[in-house]
Amino acid sequence: MKILIIEDEPKTGKYLRRGLAEAGFVADVATDGRDGLHLALTENYDLAVLDVMLPGIDGWEVLREMRRAGRQFPVLFLTARDQVDDRVKGLELGADDYLVKPFAFSELLARVRTLLRRGNVGQASENLKVADLELNLLRRRIMRAGKRINLTAKEFALLELMMRRHGEVLPRSLIASQVWDMNFDSDTNVIDVAVRRLRAKIDDDFDIKLIRTLRGMGYILEAPEP
């Protein structure tokens, strides 16, 4: 899952980016309104964390332009001003939630996860299920055939992507950009190593294998034909 942070305070931007990365998200940071808007309109994001007071154009304007251009991903507003008027204005313009600075990172992370789940209603709820493999987004829990499986944050992000798009061949370049925030480099085997580790946890102890390699094409997670 990819998140856009638009925040002009470098310390806050870095702190958010690092925290979100540790939680398994890929995050881009823009430090002014125009750069942020440009990214919002040209890249694919699942959510934006948007500061109100920004150089260039402010958070209101960024949000208005994003929505006008049809970008519908959820937006969490960050502001130092705890004014009722601001909240109303933000929500009227199409913000999805509001957080007043200073905030605890755990609070931000909880809001982000709630918004992402809400944003995915219809295509996926908080539970993803493929055969006897289940992923619970709310509890960050993986079960296979009733047995609990522990994953790292990156492994969880990788599995979440593969389960959301199960039955689809995922090229390494797509996995690299969605899970690692890197451009595909044919010399790197980061993805292959991560998939191998994930397989060891998800598939090794079970007769039915869900993750397959398609040579030269990528990886696929799917339930085998009965």
Beta carbon of residue 92, minimum distance to Ca ion (angstroms, whole number): 21
CB atoms within 10 A of CB 22: 12
Beta carbon of residue 62, minimum distance to Ca ion (angstroms, whole number): 12
- CA separation for the pair 23, 99 (Å, rounded): 19
Task: Report the residue number, 101 or 196, with the smaller CB distance to Ca ion.
Answer: 101
For Ca ion, the binding residues in 53-72 under the rule CB under 5 A are 53
Binding mask 163-202 for Ca ion (x = CB under 5 A): ----------------------------------------
Residue nearest to Ca ion (CB): 53
Beta carbon of residue 165, minimum distance to Ca ion (angstroms, whole number): 36
Name 29's bridge partners. Answer: 5
Query: With binding defined as CB under 5 A, does residue 160 bind Ca ion?
Result: no
Contacts 24+ apart (CB under 8 A), 13-21: 15/105, 16/49, 16/105, 16/108, 19/105, 19/108, 19/109, 20/109, 20/112, 21/181
Task: Report the residue number, 39 or 53, with the smaller CB distance to Ca ion.
Answer: 53
**Secondary structure in 3-state letters for 27-96:** EEEECCHHHHHHHHHHCCCCEEEEECCCCCCCHHHHHHHHHHCCCCCCEEEEECCCCHHHHHHHHHHCCC
Task: Report the residue number, 30 or 202, with the smaller CB distance to Ca ion.
Answer: 30
* Dihedral sign from CA coordinates of 180, 184, 188, 194: positive
Query: With binding defined as CB under 5 A, does residue 32 bind Ca ion?
Result: no
Task: Kindly state the tokens that stand for 14.
Answer: 């870095």
Beta carbon of residue 4, minimum distance to Ca ion (angstroms, whole number): 15
Count of residues that bind Ca ion according to CB under 5 A:
3
Task: Report the residue number, 24 or 36, with the smaller CB distance to Ca ion.
Answer: 36
Task: Kindly state the tokens that stand for 163.
Answer: 């389960």
Q: With CB under 5 A as the contact rule, which of the stretches 52-60, 102-110, 119-127, 177-185 interacts with Ca ion?
A: 52-60
Where b means 16+ CB within 10 Å and e means fewer, 201-224 reads bbbeeeeeebbeeeeeebbbbbee
Beta carbon of residue 8, minimum distance to Ca ion (angstroms, whole number): 5
Beta carbon of residue 200, minimum distance to Ca ion (angstroms, whole number): 44
Query: With binding defined as CB under 5 A, does residue 8 bind Ca ion?
Result: yes
Task: Report the residue number, 79 or 178, with the smaller CB distance to Ca ion.
Answer: 79
Query: With binding defined as CB under 5 A, does residue 51 bind Ca ion?
Result: yes
List contacts with Ca ion (CB under 5 A): 8, 51, 53
